[in-house]
Copies of this chain bind each other. A is one copy, B any other.
Amino acid sequence: MMLINGVSKNHIEITDRGFQYGDGLFETIEVRDGKAVCLERHLERLSLGCQRLYIPFPGKEILSFEASQLCTKQARAVLKIIVTRGSGGRGYRQPEVINTTRVLSLHPYPDYPETFQKQGVVTRFCDTRLGINPGLAGIKHLNRLEQILARAEWSEPEIQEGLMLDVNEYVIEGTMTNLFYIKNNKLYTSVLDQSGVAGIMRGIIITIAANSGVPVQEHRYYKDELLSADEVLVCNSIIGIWPVRQIATARFPVGLMTKNLQLQLDSFIKEALNNNEE
């Protein structure tokens, strides 16, 4: 199921700058019980991304309306929203009048086994490095070749995620997740002002940790620091939190703090769905 500027179809003009240059943004959202989870937060990030790229934001009302059209009656699914700068002539210069393209599409919810949430996942370090680019850091734009090259590095089904460093060797995130570690009851994650995507779940985890009295620090750190952690976890809007039980050959326990964060995140999302505020 797919809506392009409100119309049900499955193709796009070749001239769309999303296709020509990756000139746009996207959001990936869990659908549960007919509702897009934390939709308000996703649309807020999309709006900020549009500001950063000078793309006119299509508006929360129209996107919420179209999202609800697609999501109603879906027990569980994934909603993807793409916004591009629309069609334009050849060349990088943006058209004088920008008619954005918005694409909303539904996808099956991935059938990850429950053990990933409970017993954790196995990860590896990727060789592909994230480039340094303050102008694009943090936003979820359509230029995703770094993640594609990183994800192409392994095909072993027992490895669920690849962890990425930037060109300065700082640990940043997973190919499709944000990364946290716990050391001496404190929660750490990377600063995302040079590269990376500032995930919605990442933001919520920082908030609920701080609210429950867990000190949270965003900072720059190297591999060694991650490998000396007490607990490690990855997160995104589809998986929630997965404990990391292995990075390459290093093993980690599924610890109490990670389990607590999972419980609190579950409650947060259920409350958001009930209040319909998110």
Question: Taking the complex as formed, is A65 at the interface, i.e. its CB lies under 8 A from any CB of chain B?
Answer: no
Q: How many copies does the complex hold?
A: 2
Chain B residue nearest to A155 (CB atoms) is B93
**If the complex has contacts A131-B132, A132-B132, A149-B135, are A144 and B93 also in contact, measured as CB distance less than 8 A?**
no
Instruction: Give the CA-CA distance A147 to B148 in the complex, in Å.
Output: 20
Question: Taking the complex as formed, is A32 at the interface, i.e. its CB lies under 8 A from any CB of chain B?
Answer: no
Chain B residue nearest to A176 (CB atoms) is B92
Residues of A within 8 A of B (CB): 2, 4, 10-23, 26, 28, 53-54, 78, 80, 82, 85, 89-94, 103, 105, 107, 128-136, 141-152, 167, 175-176, 195
Q: A19-B19, A53-B145 are in contact. List 18 more A-B contacts (CB 8 A).
A: A10-B15, A11-B11, A11-B13, A12-B12, A17-B148, A21-B147, A54-B152, A92-B147, A92-B151, A92-B176, A94-B148, A131-B131, A132-B132, A133-B167, A135-B145, A135-B146, A136-B145, A143-B143
Kindly list the 6 A-B residue pairs having the minimum CB-CB distance in the complex, ordered from nearest. A22-B22, A131-B133, A143-B143, A131-B131, A21-B144, A92-B151
Task: Sample 10 A-B pairs with CB under 8 A, ordered by A number.
Answer: A12-B13, A21-B142, A21-B143, A22-B22, A22-B142, A53-B145, A85-B148, A92-B144, A131-B132, A133-B167
